[in-house]
Chain A
Amino acid sequence: MVKVFQAADATDLVTELRRSFDDGVTRGYEWRVTQLKKLLLICDNHEPEIVSALHDDLGKPELESSVYEVALLRNSINLAVQQLKDWMAPDKAKTSLTTFPASAEIVYEPLGVVLVISAWNYPFLLSIDPVIGAISAGNAVVLKPSELAPASSSLLAKLLEQYLDSSAVRVVEGAVTETTLLLEQKWDKIFYTGSSRIGRIIMMAAAKHLTPVVLELGGKSPVVIDSDTNLKITAKRIIAGKWGCNNGQACISPDYILTTKEFSPKVIDALKQELEAFYGKNPMESKDMSRIVNSNHFDRLSKMLEEKEVSDKIVYGGQKNRDKLKIAPTILVDVPLDSQIMSEEIFGPLLPIITLNKLEECFDVIRSRPKPLGAYLFTQNQKLKERFALTVSAGGIVVNDIAVHLAVPTLPFGGVGESGMGSYHGKFSFDAFSHKKAVLYKSFIGDAAIRYPPYSTGKLRLLKALVNSNILEIFRVILGLS
């Protein structure tokens, strides 16, 4: 029988983890590395179960599960294990004449007890990757996986309890009730992956305790296609990045395409050709795509397709099967800009193409919308690349590819504006869960009288010279020459 999680449980949980943290359980290098290596064992020993759970929850093909969840996690863990000593070492900081003689450094310290709230679309990756950051930084952590991926959630709870130190790492399964109870507690950091709407609720709850947050949200990530690009490769990458990543249900999924009226027919043809090469003539039968996660989302996407002035813009696909929770890869052209499909993050296998008279108009279109998590551009034009990188504000920008920046540990992964705040991956994960404490070591040599009252003009002059690091002036004043 599953015990119902109540308010007292939330309080007890945090109290217990705080005690472990205060006792120093999570601070040492050994503990952190041991936990990380245990996470590696989970990946090594349980990959088939993970793949199976992902298939149950999302119909995710084995390759996507193995690569985009397990392999990415393995890399993330290995990097942390390799680099942890370096990451934990203090950074030296320069001091100046004003604070002379002194030495300074920045010490990384854990924040304490942190909460990670995960999402349903990449339930393993988006649960464990932040947890890797939390543990490397020396925190105690509670993970709340998404209830919309129940098999994954329960497998995570089982495996983490089995392998990790439950005095400092815990999983709480549940939905709105449990999350609300957790959010009433005082955490030292909250890391949330999900929608902008819930992101606001999280931040508001965090404000009550002055808890800092990382919010990995979403948005409509545009893809701009220039006519000078290699269209075959462009189409393949878009398809792999959209339908090949959880069937478009990913935060950095290419949401819509912007291209010229002139070039658009070629784009559509290229997409159709490659879609058939990837998924065959009956994509609804293909095993290489995830299904839609549940009937709520299926209905949401259906509604988008059925909207007046949208349904007649379908140029490819459009087939649906509610029982199997499948929607075929669907391409639309020039739907109204104020339609649902162009106002909300799609998060599904629908790809609208918006055509422009001139490609440069893409900047206005993108700028008139909330800042997305990702923005993509396919072109060979150097000037266009530079203008895009400089003026399109998004979490991250990829030129001539889709979504790959997610796998690069040396690039910070996060949003801006509506798409979120904060970032992680690689060392950025470690930083996200650390407090960088400034430490100044001063000596007793040189106790300048100018620091203290009573104040005089002479002291003021010397101070000015010091502040301006004006050595000549300093000497002049000291020697009474100024």
Chain B
Amino acid sequence: MEAMEETVDQSLREMRETFASGRTRSIKWRKAQLGAIIEMVKDNEEKMCDVLFQDLGKHSTEAFRDELGFVMRSASTALNFLDKWVVPKKSNLPLLFYPATGKVISEPYGTVLVLSSWNFPISLSLDPMIGAIAAGNTVLLKASELSPNASALLTKLIPSYLDTKAIKVIEGGPDVATILLQHQWDKIFFTGSPKIGKIIMAAAAEHLTPVTLELGGKCPTIIDHHSVSKDMKSVVKRISGGKWGSCSGQACISVDYVLVEQSFASTLIDMFKPVIRSFFGVNPKESGCLSKIVTKKHFQRLSRLLNDPRVKASIVYGGSMDEDKLYVEPTILLDPPLDSEIMNEEIFGPILPIITLRDIQESIGFIKSKPKPLAIYAFTKDENLKTRILSETSSGSVTFNDLMIQYMCDALPFGGVGQSGMGRYHGKYSFECFSHEKAIMEGSLAMDLEARYPPWNNFKLNFIRLAFREAYFKLLLLMLGLTKGVRK
């Protein structure tokens, strides 16, 4: 551990010196690093798919879609728009301040810490780093120990493609994180669970370090079968693809549970079965298209959730598990008890509870009774329901008639609220996430108003009152001595 402490000390020192030298402020430098990230992913696509398969059993298509392709696009967006993003924003000043000018410039925080997660170990590491670099910071990445092959690969590749004096990687678990958090950072970006999020924020508080916390929650999916009956096949496909087609449900924006009217429940379940079979065949374990559970610990957690006898009794599809292969079959539950663990914890796995309601309008109250999730999904064409969902529930985001895809839309801020997190990123928001918006105002030494200065008297008081109210005509009268001014 002492060696690790020394490494961290040294790394921080070097990064701070590099930042102070101004190297990372140069747009050229930032673009070069962003270009290097794209190159790094392009050159090592196969290796990256390999490690993602080793750590998570991810198929290369999934790996590309959710991680590699996504990172390359994120980096090229930053490359293409950086010149625009760094332009200072002019502020219009009220006439009162003429001829002063105002603007806001985005300045890098300095030396930032990115704590990544294991489920999308490449994209959840590189994407925040893209934001940090675009904004001109030096950055240290702590890659997750639960995806050891991906983390080892990043540890090897990053120094050979990127500026090692400014961008560093450390692999490790909670003990490494603890050491890192004892130091002062200019910003901390964390992706993970709410429980750890609280620890991160408390550690950041010691140094008044601002944080972005991308956490999770139970993302509900509302199916309003009345209004989408024509497209129900699509609905089921999208939900299945979103749940089981992306890291086997181990994603912060995965569908956690479904809400549907009781009358439609059995039809819905019957529609899921052929879709799941079409995706994964009769034996999903052998399909090669279903990610595995990341560790034995998480497997045992999911096992425990399912082994609750009342939950077990609610299994209507799937349910088989293989600890050696870290495999959990795509599983559907029908109305597990609402006080069971599986209905109160983020599932983060391939188990899908379907909760039935008498009327789909009740979904609003149901969602409100739980902590604010990262995403709410709703399949509906009913404008009233859409409005109710938007105005009566709160979540990081809302997506109508699809799943997960809001992640890809980099014109939308990606982040949580309440228990699901604070702060946001993606696209320009990543740049802003790692920038301090500094106000700059410039006054003129040419003109001066006596009324600004003591000793105070009634004239000055009235002058300033009128000036504040931008009552310029009355101000003129006051100055010409044609009025004593107004009390208010």
Question: Which of the candidate stretches A8-16, A59-67, A144-152, A160-168 sits at the interface with the other chain?
Answer: A59-67
Distance, CA A229 to CA B445, complexed state (A): 8
Q: How far is the CA of A95 from the CA of B411 in the complex (A)?
A: 6
Chain A proximity of B485: nearest CB distance (Å)? 12
**Nearest CB of A to B107, in Å:** 6
Task: Verify A367–B62 contact, CB threshold 8 A.
Answer: no
Interface residue? A398 (CB, 8 A): yes
Contacts of B93 in A (CB 8 A): 408, 410
Q: Which of A204, A378, A412 contacts B202 (CB 8 A)?
A: A204
* Residue of A74, A378, A421 contacting most chain B CB atoms (<10 Å): A421
CB of B64 within 8 A of CB of A412, answer: no
CA A444 to CA B91, docked complex, whole Å: 42
A413 to B452, CA, bound (A): 22
Q: Is the CB of A459 within 8 A of B409?
A: no
B400 nearest in chain A by CB position: A441
Are B464 and A71 in touch, CB under 8 angstroms?
A: yes
Which residues of chain B (183-239) have a CB below 8 Å from chain A?
186, 194, 197-199, 201-202, 204-206, 208, 210, 213, 215, 228, 231, 234, 237-238
Q: Say yes or no for A333: interface residue by CB 8 A criterion.
A: no
| In the complex, chain A residues 385-426 whose Cβ is within 8 Å of any chain B Cβ | 385, 389-391, 393-401, 404-405, 407-413, 416-418, 420-423
CA distance A27 to B198 in the complex (A): 29
Q: For B398, give its contact among A44, A395, A397, A440 (CB under 8 Å).
A: A440
A207 cross-chain contacts in B, Cβ below 8 A:
198-199, 201-202, 204-205
Closest to A244 in B: B454
* Contact present for B438 and A394 (CB under 8 Å): yes
| A343 on interface, CB distance cutoff 8 Å | no
Q: Which of B65-73, B293-301, B337-345, B352-360 contacts A (4 or more CB under 8 A)?
A: B65-73
Contacting pair B279 A453 (CB below 8 A):
yes
Contact with A along B266-310 (1 / 0, CB 8 A): 000000000000011100000101100000000000000000000
A87 at the binding interface (Cβ < 8 Å): no
Q: Is the CB of A96 within 8 A of B410?
A: yes
A400 and B102 alpha carbons, distance in the complex (Å): 12
**Nearest CB in chain A to that of B94: its residue:** A408
Q: Is B456 an interface residue (CB 8 A)?
A: yes
User: What string of 1s and 0s marks CB contacts (under 8 Å) between B393-423 and chain A?
Assistant: 0111111111001101111111001110111
B276 (CB) vs chain A CBs: closest residue: A453
Interface readout for B34-66 with A: 1 if CB under 8 Å, 0 if not?
A: 000000000000000000000000011110110
| Residues of chain A within 8 A of B464, CB atoms compared | 63, 66-67, 71
Given contacts A106-B412, A288-B454, A452-B241, whether A467 and B69 have CB atoms under 8 Å apart is: yes
Residue B390 interfacial (CB < 8 Å): yes
B residues near A233, Cβ cutoff 8 Å: 445, 448
Asked if B465 and A71 make an inter-chain contact with CB atoms under 8 angstroms apart, the answer reads yes
The complex places the Cα of A396 from the Cα of B469 at a distance, in Å, of: 25
The 8 Å CB contact of B70, one of A107, A244, A467, is: A467
Tell me if A397 and B439 are in contact (CB < 8 A). Answer: yes
Q: Given A210-B201, A396-B440, A408-B94, A437–B289 Cβ distance below 8 Å?
A: no
Chain B interface: which of A126-134, A234-242, A313-321?
A234-242
A384 at the interface (CB under 8 A from B): no
Contacts of B110 in A (CB 8 A): 393
Q: When A234-B445, A389-B440, A437-B417 are in contact, do A416 and B109 touch as well, CB less than 8 Å?
A: yes
Whether A240 pairs with B204 at a CB distance below 8 angstroms is: no
Q: Are B394 and A396 neighbours in the complex by a CB distance under 8 Å?
A: no
Hey, which chain A residues are within 8 Å of B94, CB to CB?
Answer: 408-409
A272 CA / B422 CA spacing, docked (Å): 49
Give CA–CA (A416, B109) in the complex, Å: 8
The one of A93, A396, A435 in contact with B411, judged by C-beta atoms closer than 8 angstroms, is: A93
**Beta-carbon contact of A453 and B241 below 8 Å:** yes
- Identify which of A63, A71, A204, A215 contacts B460 (C-beta below 8 A): A63
Q: Is A135 an interface residue (CB 8 A)?
A: no
Query: Given A400-B442, A464-B69, do A454 and B289 touch, yes or no (CB 8 Å)?
Result: yes
Q: Does B100 contact A (CB under 8 A)?
A: yes
Q: Are B102 and A367 in touch, CB under 8 angstroms?
A: no
A199–B100 CA distance with the chains assembled, in angstroms: 32
A451 to B92, CA, bound (A): 46
Beta-carbon contact of A463 and B201 below 8 Å: no
Interface centre among A71, A234, A279, A468 (most CB of B within 10 A): A71
**A188 contacts the other chain (CB 8 A):** yes
User: Which of B198, B411, B469 interacts with A208 by CB under 8 Å?
Assistant: B198
List B residues 430-462 near A (Cβ within 8 Å).
436-445, 448, 452-456, 460-461
18 CB < 8 A contacts A-B: A67-B461, A96-B408, A102-B402, A109-B391, A207-B199, A229-B445, A240-B454, A286-B454, A389-B440, A398-B440, A404-B100, A404-B441, A405-B441, A408-B102, A437-B396, A437-B417, A447-B238, A453-B59
8 pairs of A and B residues whose beta carbons are closest in the complex: A401-B443, A455-B61, A203-B205, A207-B201, A467-B69, A442-B402, A438-B397, A396-B439
B: residues with CB less than 8 A from A are 20, 22, 25, 59-62, 64-65, 69-70, 72-73, 91-94, 97, 100, 102, 104-105, 107, 109-110, 186, 194, 197-199, 201-202, 204-206, 208, 210, 213, 215, 228, 231, 234, 237-238, 240-241, 244-245, 279-281, 287, 289-290, 368, 390-391, 394-402, 405-406, 408-414, 417-419, 421-424, 436-445, 448, 452-456, 460-461, 464-465, 468-469, 488
